[in-house]
Each structure stands twice: as C-alpha cells, then as structure tokens.
Amino acid sequence: MVHPDELAVRSLESVLSPAGFSVLRAYSGAEAAAQVRRHRPDAVILGSDLGDATGLALSRTLRGDPEVASSMPIFLVHAGPTSRQDRLEALRAGADDLWSQPLDTEEFVLRLAAAARAKLDADRARKAGLVDPTTGL
C-alpha cells in the first residue's frame, strides 16, 4: 500500500491483513518504486496523491519498468468520488482499477484476490516456460 498518510495505510491494512494479505508500506512514490522492484509484490495499491508523485504517474512508471511484471495488478484509490474521465485516465496510466473512498471493502478484497490469483498464474506460466519472454505469448 502506497500512501503518504499513515492512517490511510493502517486503515487499508486492517482490512487486507485479516483477508490473508501481507502488506508492505510505502509513503512516497520513490519508496514504492524501489520496494516493488526489490520485493516483487503480487499487487500494488496506490493512493492518488503520493506527495512526491501522483498515483497515475507511479502507475505509468511501474508499467514502463521492464523489471516489473506486466501481470502485476495496480489498483488506484482516490480520496473522493471518481468520474468516467478519472477511470479512463487511470486505465490509460496502466492501472487495473480505480476505487473511490469510502471503499466497499468486501468487494475490494475479492477483486484484489482475483487479480493476485491471475498474476500468480501468469508467473507460474512464465516460470514453466509456457510464455515466450520476447513476445509474451
């Protein structure tokens, strides 16, 4: 979870931990990018404003990084209501989904779990040599 506000991070962690997720915390875009490269998480959850970057900018950075798996889900969480334009902008930035707060935590956890399972399947296929690293097919 990447967000500059400790309370927001702890709040989401209180929902994710009981659902079986381990949460790595980061409080800035630079810290998050370094952690993603180092730990290779199964998913990334970004706040929309990270202090030193926006969630959109970090999503673009991660999607453009050859060290980051293209199958890694990126979820953006926005502090208020979102519009169709906001959702399209998030998708164009490489995010898999844009959520507005307050979160429907049950749905959020279920969608996150589904996205993480899909990433793990893709990782297994890549590791087993079922995916051509050059073409991705």
Q: pLDDT digits over 15-67, tens only?
A: 999 999 999 998 888 999 999 999 999 999 999 888 888 899 999 999 999 98
Q: Which of 114, 124, 126 is nearest to 43 (CA)?
A: 114
Give the Cα separation of 3 and 20 in Å (integer): 20
Task: Read off the tokens for 10.
Answer: 């702890």
Q: Determine the distance from the C-alpha atom of residue 32 to the mean position of all C-alpha atoms in its chain, rounded to a whole number.
A: 10
pLDDT at 130: 64
Looking at 1-137, list the stretches that DSSP marks H as alpha helix, in order from N- to C-terminal side.
6-16, 29-39, 55-64, 84-92, 105-127
Mean pLDDT of 79-89: 93
Per-residue pLDDT band for 76 (boundaries 50, 70, 90) equals very high
Give per-residue pLDDT as tens, 96-105. 999 998 899 9
51 backbone dihedrals φ, ψ, rounded to 5°: 85, -70
